[in-house]
């Protein structure tokens, strides 16, 4: 379906529409989407790696599905996420400050969220504003909470959002992967390594 | 056993906020004899709250959370009211239901958990105010009991609608005048414990939360009976100090005064025959377990 709506960095406005209500659809297996347009997964990989290398504060937000070692698969994903983060740090220019900030659970922690060390899906913008995060990747966050959070981020910040989703992907992210596995996360890490030096880093 | 399920992924352990590391390392998950005595020496499942300073509901929350026999496999269901502002701070799975619907939500939840986890005990515990339990949610409360749904209903009875500024509730005493009920209550406090018994609850207690050991006992009994037999009901007096004009240090005395033998919160208990058998069995096993642990300790130190 052709659509005029593009899922772009905000601030869009106080209550941005859900992207699906604007006609954005989810990718099929082997695909991703960028700004709502379906692309082959490899293209999404490259675009995500570029965003990460261009961001001043590229940040990974691991959620409860990977922070807690529920099973072997979750533990493997956690390992891959750590490796991705170490790769980003290694490849980052001096003008970049990569971060790894957890979303341990979904309790609406009013009013005591500490934005330096955690993010909460009910007010994710607090963490994004505080750390001046301009590119982020969600991984291991249950779909409903991720959608809620991605929409709030689009509404109130100019942060570029990437979703590494283990299910069918997220319309509300600016770029999404689906069927995430540890291998897929590591492939993104390879893309970051591969593109290092070929992407203009942010100015100081 | 349960600690094996509550584990932080080692690669991400260093970024987890201290609060969560503490929950894994210093909380009492998996401890068979967890209870109110752990308060102050281990990580509690609630440490901050949004209630008025000195509100007895905060004591009640601490004692109840310390006494849940199986917190990692418990889901609590709350409702609107002062308690609902506390649940976001609680380290136990919980669902906020629409005001009054709590026992309907809990019925579906308990049934779903039984189907999804046939080999694991999953406890469902409703915790709601008197307005939610006895007035707006009375239909759901009673129907769940009639249907013999296997979960515990706890009512924090503060004898009015506290969260909305003091309206009359069915559990308010006759004649009581509240800020938003200036005429005074014209009929008697609804006798919900008796109604609970007649509606099929197998374990019913009416008391205050002045004594932590008593709260621990009734919570454990109510949850065990609900798990094995059928519905249970606890009505706990948690006075709204704000509405009855007490200061933050006077909540405890208010409860002590109201639990005297002739008062409305004198300890009252009903246990069905099947529940009595179960509780006797559990007590015997507990005695055996404690004796074995004592023996083991003696052997180790010998
Ligand atoms: C469906 C619905 N009806 C009414 C309300 C308004 N309301 C919020 S809290 C409350 C009273 C709560 O009283 P109680 O259950 O006794 O809890 P307490 O605040 O006293 O602990 C009411 C009527 C609501 N939130 N939702
Ligand atoms: S209004 Fe009353 S019941 Fe509610 S928190 Fe304050 S003292 Fe407690
Ligand atoms: Mg009340």
DSSP string over B131-164: IIIIIITHHHHHHHHHTT-SSEEEEEE-SSBTTT
B290/A170: higher pLDDT? A170
Check residue A4 and give its pLDDT. 83
Residue B206, ligand 1, Cβ within 6 A: no
pLDDT at A107: 84
Distance CA A36, CA A86 (A): 29
The whole-number pLDDT of residue B3 equals: 62
pLDDT of res. A187? 98
Query: Residue B246 has which token pair?
Result: 């007490």
Which one of B161, B179, B242, B250 would you pick to mutate in the ligand 2 pocket, going by the greatest count of ligand atoms within 8 A of its CB?
B242
pLDDT, tens digit, 9 for 90 and up, residues B230-278? 999 999 999 999 999 999 999 999 999 999 999 999 999 999 999 999 9
**Are the beta carbons of B238 and B288 closer than 8 angstroms?**
no
What pLDDT does A2 receive?
55
> Is B40 part of the contact surface with chain A (CB cutoff 8 Å)?
no
For residue B133, pLDDT over 90 is answered with yes
DSSP structural state of residue A131: H
Which residue of chain A comes nearest to B90, CA vs CA? A107
Distance CA B184, CA B175 (A): 5
Put simply, whether A142 touches B (Cβ < 8 Å) is no
Rounded Cα distance, A51 and B212, in Å: 56
Taking contacts as CB-CB distances below 8 angstroms, the residues of chain A near B15 are 62, 100-102, 117
A110 band by pLDDT with thresholds 50, 70 and 90: low
Superfamily of domain B35-271: Thiamin diphosphate (ThDP)-binding fold, Pyr/PP domains (3.40.50.970)
pLDDT exceeds 60 at position B62: yes
Nearest CA to ligand 2 atom 1: B162
User: For A41-89, what is each residue's pLDDT tens digit?
Assistant: 999 999 999 999 999 999 999 999 999 999 999 999 999 999 999 999 9
Which residues in chain B have their CB less than 8 angstroms from residue A107's CB? Answer: 88-90
- Which domains are seen in chain A, by residue range? 32-192 (3.40.50)
Question: Is the whole model's pTM more than 0.80, yes or no?
Answer: yes
Q: What is the mean pLDDT of residues A107-128?
A: 88
Q: Could you give the ipTM of this predicted complex? A: 0.94
- Comparing A25-29, A91-95, B23-27, B35-39, which segment has the lowest mean pLDDT? B23-27
Which ligand 1 atom minimizes the distance to the CA of B158?
A: 20
Averaged pLDDT, B129-137: 97
Ligand 3 midpoint to CA B83 (Å):
9
pLDDT at A137 over 80: yes
Sorted by where each begins, the domain ranges of chain B are 35-271
B88 neighbourhood in chain A, CB within 8 Å:
107-110
Q: Closest by alpha carbon to B238, among B88, B104, B128, B79?
A: B128
pLDDT category of residue B130 using cuts at 50, 70 and 90: very high
Buried b (16+ CB within 10 A) or exposed e, A91-121: bbbeebbbbbbbbbbbeebeeebebeebbbb
* pLDDT, mean of residues B36-50: 92
The residue among B230, B242, B222 whose CA lies nearest residue B201 is B230
Contacts of A104 in chain B (CB under 8 A): 16-17, 20
**pLDDT at position A77, please?**
98
Task: Give yes or no for residue B1 having a pLDDT over 50.
Answer: no
A74 touches chain B (CB under 8 A): yes
Average pLDDT of chain B to the nearest whole number: 95
Please tell me the distance between residue B51's alpha carbon and the centre of ligand 1 in angstroms: 15
**A2: its two tokens:** 């052709």
Lowest mean pLDDT among A3-12, A165-174, B184-193: A3-12
Q: What is the pLDDT of residue B192?
A: 98
Q: What is the pLDDT of residue A111?
A: 63
Residue B154 confidence (pLDDT) above 50:
yes
Q: Is A112 on the interface with B (CB under 8 A)?
A: yes
Question: Quick one: what percent of chain A has pLDDT higher than 90?
Answer: 91
């Amino acid at each position: 379906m052709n659509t005029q709506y593009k899922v772009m960095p905000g601030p869009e406005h106080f209550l941005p529409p859900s992207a699906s209500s604007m006609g954005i659809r989810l990718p099929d297996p082997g695909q991703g989407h960028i700004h709502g347009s379906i692309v082959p997964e490899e293209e999404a990989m490259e675009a995500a790696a570029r965003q990460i290398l261009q961001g001043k504060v590229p940040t990974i937000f691991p959620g409860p599905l990977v922070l807690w070692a529920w099973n072997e698969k979750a533990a493997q994903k956690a390992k891959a996420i750590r490796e991705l983060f170490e790769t980003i740090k290694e490849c980052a220019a001096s003008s970049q400050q990569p971060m790894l900030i957890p979303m341990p659970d979904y309790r609406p922690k009013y009013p005591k969220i500490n934005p330096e060390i955690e993010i909460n899906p009910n007010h994710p913008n607090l963490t994004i504003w505080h750390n001046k995060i301009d590119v982020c990747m969600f991984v291991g966050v249950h779909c409903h909470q991720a959608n809620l959070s991605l929409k709030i981020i689009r509404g109130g910040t100019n942060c570029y959002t990437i979703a590494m989703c283990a299910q069918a992907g997220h319309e509300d992210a600016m770029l999404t992967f689906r069927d995430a596995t540890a291998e897929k996360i590591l492939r993104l890490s390879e893309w970051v390594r591969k593109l290092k030096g070929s992407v203009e880093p942010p100015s100081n | 056993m349960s600690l094996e399920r509550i584990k932080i992924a080692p690669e991400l352990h260093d970024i987890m906020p201290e609060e969560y590391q503490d929950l894994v390392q210093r909380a009492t998950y998996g401890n068979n004899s967890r209870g109110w005595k752990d308060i102050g020496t281990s990580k509690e499942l609630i440490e901050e709250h949004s209630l008025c300073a000195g509100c007895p509901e905060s004591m009640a929350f601490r004692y109840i959370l310390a006494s849940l026999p199986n917190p990692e496999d418990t889901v609590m269901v709350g409702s609107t009211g002062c308690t609902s502002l506390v649940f976001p701070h609680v380290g136990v799975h919980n669902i906020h239901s629409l005001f009054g619907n709590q026992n309907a939500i809990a019925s579906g939840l308990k049934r779903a958990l039984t189907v999804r986890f046939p080999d694991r005990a999953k406890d469902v515990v409703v915790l709601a105010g008197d307005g939610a339990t006895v007035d707006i949610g009375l239909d759901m409360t009673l129907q769940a009991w009639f249907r013999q749904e296997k979960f515990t209903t706890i009512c924090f009875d503060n004898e009015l609608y506290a969260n909305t500024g003091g309206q009359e509730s069915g559990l308010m005493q006759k004649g009581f005048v509240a800020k938003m009920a200036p005429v005074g209550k014209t009929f008697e406090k609804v006798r919900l414990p008796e109604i609970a018994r007649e509606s099929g609850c197998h374990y019913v207690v009416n008391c205050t939360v002045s004594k932590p050991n008593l709260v621990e006992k009734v919570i454990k009994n109510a949850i065990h009976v609900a798990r094995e037999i059928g519905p249970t009901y606890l009505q706990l007096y948690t006075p709204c100090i704000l509405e009855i004009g007490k200061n933050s240090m006077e909540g405890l005395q208010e409860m002590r005064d109201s639990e005297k033998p002739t008062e409305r919160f004198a300890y009252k208990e009903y246990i069905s025959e099947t529940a009595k058998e179960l509780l006797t069995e559990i007590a015997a096993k507990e005695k055996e377990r404690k004796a074995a642990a004592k023996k083991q300790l003696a052997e180790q130190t010998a």
